[in-house]
C-alpha cells in the first residue's frame, strides 16, 4: 500500500510539473452558465515571460453572429482573473490570453490585429462548454464550436489552428447524438466544409440536400442555403435560377432587402437628399420596416450630402432625427478628417467647423463606450473608432495652432502603446517637437526607428533635428542603416513564420485574356501580388491607389503587378467572363490572374483579403499584408 501511495504521489508530481509547461484557464464555477457572470482564472506556465498587463480574448457565436470580446485580467498572486457573462444562447467559448499594449514598432502589416497572443493553449484555444440556466448542456455545443472555428475570428485573432477533418468530426458527433440538428441552418456549413475536404466524392450527398431543400415551401432561408451549396459546387445555372425564384416568391424577403441596399449604395454618389428620403419611404412601405436602425442609415446618408454642401442649418435638423449616434460619428469624423487636410503638411479648410464636428464624434463614442452592451456588434470596433477620432481631433488642433492640446491627445494614445500607426507616430513626433522640444522628439523617433519602423517622415524630421542640435551626420546615417536592416530582418522573420519560408511559392495561372502566367518567369523583377475578389468591398476601395501605382511604374519594366482573383465559386469560363467585365467596367489596367481552384490563396496562407505581397528580384517575399501606400513599400524594398 505504501509503495502504491508513493507511486501515485510521484505520478501526480510529474503530471503537475509537466502541466506547468502549458498555461491553464479554469472556471471557478463547476458548470459555467450562459446568461450569468462566470469567473475565470488564468495560471501561466512558470517559464512564460508576461507583460505588465494582459487581457483575455473571448470568441463566441450568438444569434448567427460572431463576437470577440477583450476582458481585462487582474493579477492576483501568480494568476490572472477575469469575469465574463455570455449571452443566453451561447453554448461554447474559445479563449486565449493576449497583450494589446504594443507599440506600433511591434506591429507589422502581417498582423490582422494590433495584439500579441500570449497563450492560445498550443494553438488550440481554451474551450469552455456552457450550461443553460437549468444546468443542462446545450445540444448544439459542438456545432457552435465548429462554426466559430470555421467562420469566426479564431485564426486571425488567436492564431488557433484547425482542420477540415476536425470540423467535420465536430459536426458529425453532434448529428449522431441529435439527428434533428441536421434541420438547422448550420447543416449547410457542415456540407460546405465536407465538400472542401472530400470534393466530388460527396457531391451526390450535397445534390440530394439541394433537391430536398428546393422542395421546402415558404422558407427563404432553406433556399438561400441551397444557393450557397450550388455556389460551392460551381453550378451557376442552378444558382441563378433559384436566386431568381427566391426574388419572385419572397418579394419582401431577405434577398430582396439585400438587393435593395446593394442598389441603393451603388447609386449613392448620384443621389440627392430628396432621392435618399424617397428611397427611405419606399423601403418602409415595401418592407414594413420603420425601425430606427433602418431610418438612421438613410438619415446618415442625407447628413453626408448636407456636409458636402456645407449646409450647417439643415445639419441640426437631421442630427435630431438620428437615434443611434453611431450613425452621426462616422460621417462627422470623415468630413472633419477631409477638412483637416489629412496630412501634416496639407492645408486644411473650415478648421473651426471641422473641430466642432470632430469633437462631436469624440464625445459621442466616449459616451457609447461607457454604456456598451455586450451584444452590440459595434462594440468590437469601438476602440479602433475612438482612436481614429482622436487622431482627427489632434490634427485639427495642431493646424489651429493649439499645439499643447494636440500633443495632449496624441500623447495619451502613445502612452497606451497600441493605437498609433506609422502616420500617427509621425504626427506625434511633430507635435512632440513643438511642445516638448527637439531632444524629446529625437528620443521618440530614434526609439521607433531602432525597433524597425520605416517612416520617411520621421527620418526627415530626425535629420533636421540632428542639424538643429549640431549632432554628427554620420551618426544619423548609421542609425538609418541600422533601422532599415532591423526592419527587414523582422519582416523576414514574420514572413518565414507565416509561410515557412521567405521564398515565393511558384504558381501557374491563366489571366482573363486566357494567357498562361508563371511566377517563376519573372525572376529578376520585383513582383507585386494583390489577392482580391469582385465581391470584396475593401479590395475594390484599394484599387484607385493600386492603379496610381501601376501608372507610376508603367515605364519601369523591372516592376510587375498581378491581381489574383480568389474565392470565386464559378466555373472557369463564367469566372473569366464576369471578372473581365468587372475590370472593363472599372476601367482598370490590371493583369488579372484567375485562381480557379483557390490553390494559390491557400499556398500563401491567406485568411482575409485584400492581401498584398511584394517579391524581390531574388524571388524572396519581402512584404506581406495590407497597405494604403504600395508605392512606399515598393521603394522601401528596392533601397
Instruction: Tell me how far the alpha carbon of residue 601 is from its chain's centroid.
Output: 17
Residue 548 has pLDDT above 50, yes or no: yes
Q: In angstroms, what CA-CA distances link 375 with 39, 72, 190, 554, 622?
A: 19, 18, 26, 49, 40
- What's the whole-number mean pLDDT along residues 596-604? 89
pLDDT tens digit sequence for 304-322: 999 999 888 888 889 899 9
Q: Does domain 508-638 have CATH number 3.40.30.10?
A: yes
pLDDT, residue 574, reads 84
Q: Is 503 exposed, middle or buried (0-12, 13-18, 19+ CB in 10 A)?
A: middle
Q: For residue 184, what pLDDT band results from cuts at 50, 70 and 90?
A: very high
Task: Give 104-127 as a DSSP string.
Answer: GGG--TT-SSS-EEEE-TTTT-EE
- What's the whole-number mean pLDDT along residues 20-24? 68
Going by C-alpha positions, the residue among 457, 453, 456, 452 that lies closest to residue 430 is 457
Q: What is the mean pLDDT of the chain?
A: 87
For the chain, what are the domain ranges? 2-160, 185-250, 259-486, 508-638
Residue 2 has pLDDT above 50, yes or no: no
2-160 against 508-638: fold identical: no
Q: How far apart are CA 420 and CA 321, in angstroms?
A: 34
pLDDT tens digit sequence for 25-70: 999 999 999 999 999 999 998 877 777 788 999 999 998 888 888 8
Q: Map grid coordinates 465536407 to a residue.
A: 194
- What's the whole-number mean pLDDT along residues 210-226? 93
3-state secondary structure 23-78: CEEEECCCCCECCCEEEEEEECCCCCCCCCCCEEEEEEEECCEEEEEEEECEEECC
Longest CA pairwise span in the chain (Å): 90
Residue 340 has pLDDT above 50, yes or no: yes
Percent of the chain at pLDDT above 90? Answer: 59
Task: Say what the pTM is.
Answer: 0.80
Residue 383 has pLDDT above 90, yes or no: no
Q: Does domain 259-486 have CATH number 1.25.40?
A: yes
- What's the whole-number mean pLDDT along residues 563-568? 91
Give, for 577, the enclosing helix (H) or strand (E): helix 572-586
- What's the whole-number mean pLDDT along residues 274-296? 95
Within 8 A by CB and 6+ apart from 296, the residues are 322, 323, 324, 326, 327
Q: Which CATH topology does 2-160 take?
A: Immunoglobulin-like (2.60.40)
**Cα dihedral 572, 574, 575, 581 in deg (nearest 10):** 140
Q: How far apart are CA 437 and CA 405, in angstroms?
A: 15
Name residue 62's beta-bridge partners. Answer: 65
pLDDT tens digit sequence for 219-249: 999 999 999 999 889 898 999 999 999 999 9
Please state whether beta strands 559-565 and 526-532 pair in parallel, antiparallel, or not at all (unpaired): parallel
Give one word for 459, left, alpha or beta, with left for phi > 0 and alpha for psi -120 to 50. Answer: alpha
Of 258-267, 276-285, 362-371, the range with the highest mean pLDDT is 276-285
Q: Which of 11-15, 89-93, 130-134, 313-317 has the lowest mean pLDDT?
A: 11-15
* 332 vs 20 pLDDT, higher one: 332
- At residue 198, the 3 state secondary structure works out as helix
* 380 vs 118 pLDDT, higher one: 118
Instruction: Tell me how far the alpha carbon of residue 275 is from its chain's centroid.
Output: 33
pLDDT, residue 450, reads 85
Amino acid at each position: 500500500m505504501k509503495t502504491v501511495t508513493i507511486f501515485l504521489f510521484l505520478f501526480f508530481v510529474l503530471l503537475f510539473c509537466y502541466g506547468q509547461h502549458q498555461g491553464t484557464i479554469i472556471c471557478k464555477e463547476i458548470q459555467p452558465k450562459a446568461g450569468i457572470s462566470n469567473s475565470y482564472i488564468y495560471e501561466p506556465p512558470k517559464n512564460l515571460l508576461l507583460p505588465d498587463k494582459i487581457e483575455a480574448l473571448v470568441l463566441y457565436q450568438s444569434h448567427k453572429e460572431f463576437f470577440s470580446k477583450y476582458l481585462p485580467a487582474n493579477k492576483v498572486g501568480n494568476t490572472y482573473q477575469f469575469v465574463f457573462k455570455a449571452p443566453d444562447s451561447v453554448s461554447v467559448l474559445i479563449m486565449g490570453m493576449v497583450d494589446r499594449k504594443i507599440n506600433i514598432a511591434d506591429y507589422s502589416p502581417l498582423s490582422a490585429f494590433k495584439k500579441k497572443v500570449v497563450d492560445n493553449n498550443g494553438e488550440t484555444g481554451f474551450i469552455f462548454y456552457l450550461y443553460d440556466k437549468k444546468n443542462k448542456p446545450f445540444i448544439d455545443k459542438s456545432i457552435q464550436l465548429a462554426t466559430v472555428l470555421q467562420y469566426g475570428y479564431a485564426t486571425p485573432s488567436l492564431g488557433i489552428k484547425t482542420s477540415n477533418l476536425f470540423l467535420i468530426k465536430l459536426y458529425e458527433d453532434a448529428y449522431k447524438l441529435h439527428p434533428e440538428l441536421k434541420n438547422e441552418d448550420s447543416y449547410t456549413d457542415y456540407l460546405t466544409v465536407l465538400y472542401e475536404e472530400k470534393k466530388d466524392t460527396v457531391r451526390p450527398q450535397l445534390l440530394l440536400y439541394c433537391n430536398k431543400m428546393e422542395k421546402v415551401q415558404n422558407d427563404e432561408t432553406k433556399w438561400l442555403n441551397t444557393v450557397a451549396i450550388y455556389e460551392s459546387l460551381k453550378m451557376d445555372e442552378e444558382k441563378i435560377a433559384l436566386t431568381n425564384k427566391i426574388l419572385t416568391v419572397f418579394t419582401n424577403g431577405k434577398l430582396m432587402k439585400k438587393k435593395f441596399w446593394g442598389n441603393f449604395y451603388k447609386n449613392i454618389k448620384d443621389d440627392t437628399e430628396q432621392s435618399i428620403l424617397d428611397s427611405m419611404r419606399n423601403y418602409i412601405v415595401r418592407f414594413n420596416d420603420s425601425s430606427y436602425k433602418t431610418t438612421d442609415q438613410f438619415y446618415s446618408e442625407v447628413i453626408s450630402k448636407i456636409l458636402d454642401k456645407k449646409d450647417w442649418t439643415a445639419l441640426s435638423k437631421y442630427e435630431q432625427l438620428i437615434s443611434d449616434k453611431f450613425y452621426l460619428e462616422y460621417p462627422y469624423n470623415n468630413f472633419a478628417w477631409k477638412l483637416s487636410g489629412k496630412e501634416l503638411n496639407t492645408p486644411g479648410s473650415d478648421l473651426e467647423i471641422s473641430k466642432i464636428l470632430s469633437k462631436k464624434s469624440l464625445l459621442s463614442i466616449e459616451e457609447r463606450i461607457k454604456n456598451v452592451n455586450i451584444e452590440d456588434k459595434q462594440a468590437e470596433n469601438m476602440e479602433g473608432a475612438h482612436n481614429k477620432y482622436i487622431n482627427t481631433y489632434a490634427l485639427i488642433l495642431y493646424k489651429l495652432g493649439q499645439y499643447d492640446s494636440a500633443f495632449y491627445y496624441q500623447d495619451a494614445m502613445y502612452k497606451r502603446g497600441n493605437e498609433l500607426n506609422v502616420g500617427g507616430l509621425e504626427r506625434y513626433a511633430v507635435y512632440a517637437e513643438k511642445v516638448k522640444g527637439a531632444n524629446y522628439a529625437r528620443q521618440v523617433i530614434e526609439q521607433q526607428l531602432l525597433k524597425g519602423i520605416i517612416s520617411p517622415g520621421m527620418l526627415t524630421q530626425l535629420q533636421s533635428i540632428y542639424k538643429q542640435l549640431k549632432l554628427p551626420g554620420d551618426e544619423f546615417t548609421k542609425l538609418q542603416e541600422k533601422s532599415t536592416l532591423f526592419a527587414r530582418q523582422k519582416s523576414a522573420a514574420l514572413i518565414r513564420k507565416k509561410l515557412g519560408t521567405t521564398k515565393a511559392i511558384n504558381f501557374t495561372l491563366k489571366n482573363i485574356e486566357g494567357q498562361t502566367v508563371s511566377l517563376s518567369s519573372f525572376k529578376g523583377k520585383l513582383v507585386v501580388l494583390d489577392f482580391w475578389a469582385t465581391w470584396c468591398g475593401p479590395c475594390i476601395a484599394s484599387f484607385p491607389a493600386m492603379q496610381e501605382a501601376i501608372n507610376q511604374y508603367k515605364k519601369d519594366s523591372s516592376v510587375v503587378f498581378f491581381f489574383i482573383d480568389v474565392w470565386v465559386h464559378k466555373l472557369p469560363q463564367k469566372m473569366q467572363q464576369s471578372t473581365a467585365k468587372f475590370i472593363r467596367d472599372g476601367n482598370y489596367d490590371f493583369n488579372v490572374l484567375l485562381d480557379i481552384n483557390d490553390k494559390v490563396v491557400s499556398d500563401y496562407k491567406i485568411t482575409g483579403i485584400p492581401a498584398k505581397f511584394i517579391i524581390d528580384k531574388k524571388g524572396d517575399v519581402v512584404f506581406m499584408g495590407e497597405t494604403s501606400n504600395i508605392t512606399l513599400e515598393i521603394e522601401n524594398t528596392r533601397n
